[in-house]
C-alpha cells in the first residue's frame, strides 16, 4: 500500500498546500535559507529585489523572492529538532511527491538549504559575535534514530568516538554524527569562520548543561565535550537544529549547511550585549555566497 495515499500520513490542506508549511510546490525556490526566529525572515527578505510569496502558519513564516536574479525562499522553523523534522519532511514533499496524486516523482529535485542561526561557543578562543560553520553535527537529540537512514549518511565513527570519549550516559539518546554538504562547504571557503563540530541538543537548559532549579543528570558532559576532537576538529558550539537538518536533508538527497553567530561563550561565560549587527553581517555574507 502506498503510505502517501492515507490522509493521516501525508496531510494536505483543502487548498492543496502541504499541512504545516501552507505552501504549494511552485511557491518554493530551490535555494532555501532557514532560520529559527520568525522575525528574522523579513530581515533577510528585506534584501530581496522583489518578494513574490509570503505565508505564515504558527511559527513558520515563509518569504520567496528574487535577489540578483536568483530565486530564494527564506523560512522560519522555530526552535528544536522536532520542528526541523516537520520542515524538512514537508519541504521534500513539496518537491519530490506529487501532492495531487500522492505519488513519489520519478526525477528527484535537490534543494540547497542553509541554516542561519545563533549558538553558544564551546571553545574559549571563540569570541562572541564571531561566525561558526558546522563541518559536522553531533546529534544528542536522538531524532535520526527513528528513521531508517541509508549507509553513508551517518558518520558512525564520529558517533562511536564521541560516546566512548565522554563515557556517554546510557539513559540519554543514542548519539549520531553527520557531515555537511561538501559543495556548500567549498562555497563558503575563504570567509572568517570558525569551523568544527556542532553539538545539537534536544533542549536549551539541562540538555546544554545549564542549571536552573533542577540538577543535571550528566553534569560532566560539557567539560568532556570541550576536549573532544575528530578529524582535527573540536566541538565549536551548541545549538538545537543542525543534526536533524544534516541527517534528514542528506538522507533525502538535499544539500545542507549551518552557519551561526556565536552569541555566547559557554566556557568563558560571556554573552553578547548586542549580537544583531553580527547577525546582519552574516546575513549579507550568506546572501552573497548564494547569489554568486
| pLDDT single digits (tens) 55-68 | 999 999 999 999 99
Q: What is the pLDDT of residue 58?
A: 95
pLDDT band at 105 (very low <50, low <70, confident <90, very high): very high
Q: Which residue has the cell 555574507?
A: 285
Q: What is the pLDDT of residue 7?
A: 85
Percent of the chain topping pLDDT 90: 93
- Which of 230, 172, 153 is CA-nearest to residue 198? 230
Distance from C-alpha of 161 to C-alpha of 190, rounded to nearest angstrom: 29
Cβ contact 59:37 at 8 Å: no
Q: Which residue has the cell 519541504?
A: 91
Domain 3-291: top CATH class? alpha beta
Distance from C-alpha of 209 to C-alpha of 196, rounded to nearest angstrom: 20
Q: Which residues contact 177 (CB under 8 A, 6 or more apart)?
A: 136, 137, 138, 139, 154, 155, 156, 157, 158, 159, 162, 197, 230
Q: What is the pLDDT of residue 151?
A: 87
* pLDDT for 125 beyond 80: yes
84-108 mean pLDDT? 95
**Residue range 197-237, pLDDT digits in tens:** 999 999 999 999 999 999 999 999 999 999 999 999 999 99
**Residue range 269-283, pLDDT digits in tens:** 999 999 999 999 999
Q: What is the pLDDT of residue 1?
A: 61
137-142 mean pLDDT? 97
Long-range (24+ apart) CB contacts under 8 A made by 24-28 are: 24/94, 25/94, 25/95, 25/99, 27/53, 27/55, 27/62, 27/64, 27/73, 28/64, 28/73, 28/91, 28/94, 28/95
pLDDT band at 31 (very low <50, low <70, confident <90, very high): very high
Minimum mean pLDDT range among 3-7, 95-99, 163-167, 174-178: 3-7
Amino acid at each position: 500500500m502506498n503510505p502517501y495515499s492515507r490522509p493521516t500520513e501525508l496531510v494536505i490542506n483543502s487548498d492543496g498546500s502541504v499541512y504545516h508549511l501552507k505552501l504549494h510546490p511552485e511557491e518554493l525556490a530551490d535555494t532555501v535559507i532557514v532560520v529559527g526566529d520568525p522575525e528574522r525572515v523579513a530581515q533577510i527578505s528585506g534584501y530581496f529585489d522583489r518578494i513574490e510569496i509570503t505565508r505564515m502558519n504558527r511559527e513558520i513564516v515563509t518569504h520567496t523572492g528574487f535577489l540578483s536574479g536568483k530565486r530564494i525562499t527564506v523560512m522560519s522553523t522555530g526552535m528544536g529538532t522536532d520542528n526541523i523534522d516537520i520542515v524538512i519532511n514537508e519541504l521534500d514533499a513539496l518537491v519530490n511527491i506529487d501532492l495531487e496524486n500522492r505519488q513519489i516523482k520519478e526525477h528527484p529535485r535537490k534543494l540547497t538549504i542553509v541554516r542561519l542561526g545563533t549558538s553558544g561557543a564551546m571553545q574559549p578562543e571563540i569570541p562572541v559575535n564571531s561566525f561558526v560553520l558546522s563541518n559536522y553535527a553531533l546529534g544528542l537529540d536522538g531524532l535520526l534514530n527513528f528513521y531508517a537512514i541509508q549507509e553513508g549518511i551517518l558518520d558512525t565513527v564520529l558517533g562511536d568516538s564521541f560516546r566512548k570519549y565522554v563515557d556517554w550516559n546510557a539513559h540519554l539518546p543514542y548519539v549520531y554524527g553527520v557531515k555537511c554538504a561538501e559543495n556548500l562547504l567549498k562555497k563558503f571557503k575563504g570567509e572568517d569562520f570558525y569551523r568544527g563540530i556542532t553539538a545539537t541538543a534536544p533542549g536549551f537548559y539541562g540538555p546544554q548543561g545549564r542549571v536552573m532549579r533542577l540538577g543535571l543528570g550528566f553534569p560532566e558532559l560539557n567539560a568532556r565535550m570541550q576536549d573532544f576532537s575528530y578529524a582535527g576538529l573540536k566541538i565549536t558550539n551548541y545549538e538545537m537544529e543542525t543534526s536533524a537538518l544534516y541527517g534528514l536533508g542528506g538522507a533525502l538527497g538535499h544539500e545542507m549547511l549551518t552557519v551561526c553567530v556565536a552569541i555566547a561563550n559557554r566556557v568563558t561565560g560571556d554573552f553578547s550585549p548586542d549580537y544583531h549587527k553580527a547577525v546582519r553581517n552574516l546575513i549579507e555574507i550568506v546572501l552573497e555566497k548564494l547569489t554568486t
